[in-house]
Amino acid sequence: MPVQFTITRDCPHTDARMGELKTNHGMIETPAFMPVGTQGTVKALTVDELAEMGTGMILSNCYHLFLRPGVELIARHGGLHRFMNWSGSILTDSGGFQVFSLGGLRKLDDRGVAFTSHIDGSKHFLTPERVTRLQNMLGSDIAMVLDQCPPYPAGREEVSEAVRRTAIWARRSKAAHLRAGQAQFAIVQGGVYNDLRRQSAAGLVEMDFDGYAIGGLSVGEPKNLMYETLYSTVPELPRHKVHYLMGVGSPDALLEGVRSGIDIFDCVLPTRIARNGRVMTSKGYLPIRNSAYSTDLSPLDEACHCPVCKNYSRAYIRHLLKANEILGMRLTTYHNLYYLDRLMRDIREALSEDRFKQYYQEMSPRLEKMYGGVV
């Protein structure tokens, strides 16, 4: 098996579970959050810093790496792990979401998707088979199939068509997948139509992929609809395989995702807001660029034990950001990812000690109050 997933603890009162996901590059305790390294790097951080904070797996994007520097170049370096000097696990997204976000720059049919590069205007055509081969060349531990991600809001007919095409592409992707040791995950679509979600899941489960992702959420829909969709969809997935919720990274949504039975998550949120001077703390978001912190000598979060909070003050970090110093963005990025890693560790600890239900009841309203406005 290219990946091995073992459930080590169930929560008897919810659908939450704790597990171990083993790849050729290590073991990841789940539930876990994956930092996003779209272009072969988690913005502002080195791989050593990621390893230092305990990161086991990162996400990179086939679409972006295809456009630059080119998958062939990466393959000549021995694959993405060697190219970026990362010894942990890598999941590569197909780039389906990015392609379909191009709007007028792309055109799709059952064969694949034609699009114009957002970088230089060059023309390209990607099929499920080609995207699979590109990820084979990248050598990631987990490769995602090419799918069609409908926008929100979208009518039932449009979403139904996306479900149909996603199933066709998934079958072709599976047939084209040739790299031994690389897992392949399918992506359930269906928007916020629960019956279409169940239909999508049923068709993909029949194809027997190594794991299953829930895509097409956190694209603008209200959180209550996202949660309703999760609780309707996750039970349709094989219990013994990995459940992956794509593009979700706010602390309150991560906790709710775990409660619904999700094992792994990814999102650009923590690194993106960090570069804009917004940090996650035990008391909610801290807009560190505000003038109120210009002489504040306290750490970003007094409850945090990361190296940033141990060694630097709010005033100093604000000064760096206002002066456009790169170090400021590096420090806020490190802190935000450490915060989410700590959150996931706390969740796993609660699961391992059979107190997740109590943890959820205490933390869910608190996180909703602090972070409920952003998915």
Q: Which residues are catalytic?
A: 93, 266
Give the three-state DSSP class for 145: coil
Spatial CB neighbours of 312, under 8 Å, sequence gap ≥ 6: 299, 300, 331
Radius of gyration of the chain from its Cα atoms, rounded to whole angstroms: 20
Q: How far apart are CA 202 and CA 75, in angstroms?
A: 35
Q: Tokens at residue 198, please?
A: 């169940």
Q: Tokens at residue 207, please?
A: 């194809």
Percent helix, percent strand, percent coil in the chain, to nearest 5:
45, 20, 35
How many helical (H) and strand (E) elements, i.e. helices and strands, does the chain have?
Answer: 15, 16
H or E stretch including 340?
Answer: helix 326-352
Which residues is 287 bridged to in the sheet?
Answer: 278
Residue 124: other Cβ atoms inside 10 A: 16
CB 135 within 8 A of CB 62: yes
Chain centroid offset of residue 309 CA: 25
Q: 79: alpha, beta or left, given left = phi > 0 and alpha = psi -120 to 50?
A: left
* Sign of the dihedral through C-alpha 372, 226, 210, 15: positive
Closest alpha carbon to 262 in 275, 277, 246, 282: 246
H or E stretch including 163?
Answer: helix 156-176
